[in-house]
Amino acid sequence: MLQLHIKDEGRRGTMKKLETAERIFLLGHILSMAFGLAGLLIVLPNLEFITSLSEIGQIVFNWSMAGGGVGYMLLGTAAVATYAYRTMGRWHWLTFMLPAIFISLGSELLGTSTGFPFGHYRYLNGLGYKIAGLVPFTIPLSWFYIGFVSYLIARVGLETLTLPNWLRTTGAIAFGAVLLTSWDFVLDPAMSQTTVPFWLWEQPGAFFGMPYQNFVGWMGTGAVFMTVATVFWKAQPLKFNSSLQLPLAVYLSNFAFATIMSLAAGIYLPVLLGLILGVIPVLVLYWLAVSQAGGKEPSENGFSSEIVEVPVGVHR
């Protein structure tokens, strides 16, 4: 009994450290996005400000332009990966992350080489080392962490409804893919039309310079890796009993980053579509999950935490 108690205390201590790490990674993720917005929207358009910077200021500015995009994606990945491992364990974490990364990388390599499934485009500089000289290594990471939080919120929210299991499962994949694509509605136009673009469309389209095919590709790619993860999760059913605060914070902060970029570029319709198809559904699904949990419970560190306890990936 004593040994079991010691092991249990040790496990709780490890989980507490992981939870602290999540918060640090999330804070760094959000701050780095804010820092990037300041650089792209305030500093870059004012060349006289850049030339007036001190030597240290020039170094910081050059570093932020070279590695700022990489930094915020790495921190987002670290926050979500740590959260997934802590709340679900190694199996459920890796069986989502690995398919998400490799399937999205395959789609991106195919897209930048052939134009399928997104249309013809190419990545510029600012997002890190390019795999095969085509796709920045950070891009599949962003597919993972936005895809994961989109799918998890959809899955946990829908599990609270009295529906056939197959319908909840299919609905989670569909809603997860829509939430993921809704973020791209807002991000893609801004990031390809900002003062310093991060990718260029070589196949101009009707949707703010992008082909509608791009969004079909996003929906399809997201649905594929979410389906693969769903199949893996059925092999080891999970009773999810953790807070959804971090997934919600990741989704909303990334949506806010994309929104500010789009509005600064004078692009409004994608923001409206993203709010209708992304933010409103994600808030409703989050509310469903928290309502089923019966409200808030205090966590060990004193923070208020919405604890959600529903079966995920269970055959019924």
Number of domains observed in the structure of the chain: 1
Residue 307 has pLDDT above 70, yes or no: no
Q: What is the pLDDT of residues 237-260, one digit of tens each?
A: 777 788 999 999 999 999 999 999
Query: What pLDDT, on a 0 to 100 scale, did the predictor assign at position 35?
Result: 85
Q: What is the pLDDT of residues 92-120, one digit of tens each?
A: 999 999 999 999 999 999 999 999 999 99
pTM listed for this prediction = 0.89
Q: Please identify which residue in the block is written with the tokens 């249990």.
A: 8
Instruction: Pick the closest to residue 158 from 273, 316, 311 (CA basis).
Output: 311
Residue 58 lies inside a defined structural domain of this protein: no
Cis, bond preceding 117 (omega within 30 deg of 0): yes
Beta-carbon count within 10 A of 134 CB:
16
Query: What pLDDT, on a 0 to 100 scale, did the predictor assign at position 300?
Result: 35
DSSP 3-state of 307? strand
Residue 10 lies inside a defined structural domain of this protein: no
Encoded tokens for 21: 């790490």
Q: What is the pLDDT of residues 192-224, one digit of tens each?
A: 776 677 888 887 788 888 899 999 999 999 999
> Which 8-state DSSP code applies to residue 160?
T
Least confident among 145-149, 153-157, 170-174, 293-297 = 293-297
Which residues constitute the domain of residue 105? 76-312
Residue 314 has pLDDT above 60, yes or no: no
